Amino acid sequence: MGKKAGSSWLTAVKRAFRSPTKDSEKKATAATRQREEQEQEEEEKKREKRRWLFRKPSSHDHPAPPTPSTQARLASLSVPEAAADSAEQRHALAVAVATAAAAEAAVATAQAAAEVARLTRPSTSFVRQHCAAVVIQTAFRGYLARRALRALRGLVKLQALV
């Protein structure tokens, strides 16, 4: 009837505050990326559904097919501008990933702190028992004090007779 190793609440708290190892970090980042990509896809699907909820499609939603002059302008875009756009996109993606990771870590830390607070707080039955013990001790000490005072009065009367 023993506990399994590592199942105590203290172990869980230690695990929550321990910095991850390099191997688990790589696995976590890959898993995090996949999860974020899935979340983005789901969010896009939700947005698409929401868009249809509020209004009917209009001609503004579907752009007109590109004209030859538009195609010529797009072809004349220089490569450095496209590279700058992709660098900005990569930076924005990196910032978003870092922000999501920081938010996830903050949530995990807050949950661990709440769990520690919940586990370190004395239970209500313990508090109730403690209050009952204090009341009993107070009554007993009062009884002992009255008994000692009665004995002292008896001694004083005895001395007065002698």
Percent of the chain topping pLDDT 90: 19
Average pLDDT of the residues in 61-77: 53
In a shared domain, residues 50 and 129 = no
- Judge whether 108 and 12 are in contact, CB under 8 Å: no
pLDDT, residue 9, reads 72
Helix, strand or coil, per DSSP, at residue 2:
coil
In a shared domain, residues 129 and 112 = no
pLDDT, residue 68, reads 53
**How far is the C-alpha of 65 from the C-alpha of 75, rounded, in Å?**
16
In a shared domain, residues 52 and 86 = yes
For residue range 128-142, list pLDDT tens digits in order: 999 999 999 999 999
Contacts of 15 (CB under 8 A, 6+ apart): none
In a shared domain, residues 132 and 98 = no
Helix, strand or coil, per DSSP, at residue 77:
coil
In a shared domain, residues 14 and 52 = yes
In a shared domain, residues 90 and 162 = no
Q: How confident is the model at residue 126 (pLDDT cuts 50, 70, 90)?
A: confident
In a shared domain, residues 20 and 45 = yes
- Judge whether 13 and 115 are in contact, CB under 8 Å: yes
In a shared domain, residues 106 and 161 = no
pLDDT, residue 90, reads 87
Q: Is residue 90 part of a domain?
A: yes
Q: What is the CA radius of gyration of the chain?
A: 37
In a shared domain, residues 115 and 136 = no
User: Count of domains in the chain?
Assistant: 2
Q: How many CB atoms lie within 10 A of CB 32?
A: 14
Range of the domain at 98: 8-56+80-121
In a shared domain, residues 104 and 159 = no
Is the pLDDT assigned to residue 77 strictly greater than 60? Answer: no
pTM of the full predicted structure? 0.28
Range with the poorest average pLDDT among 27-36, 86-95, 103-112, 117-126: 27-36
In a shared domain, residues 138 and 115 = no
**How far is the C-alpha of 131 from the C-alpha of 125, rounded, in Å?**
10
- Judge whether 13 and 112 are in contact, CB under 8 Å: yes
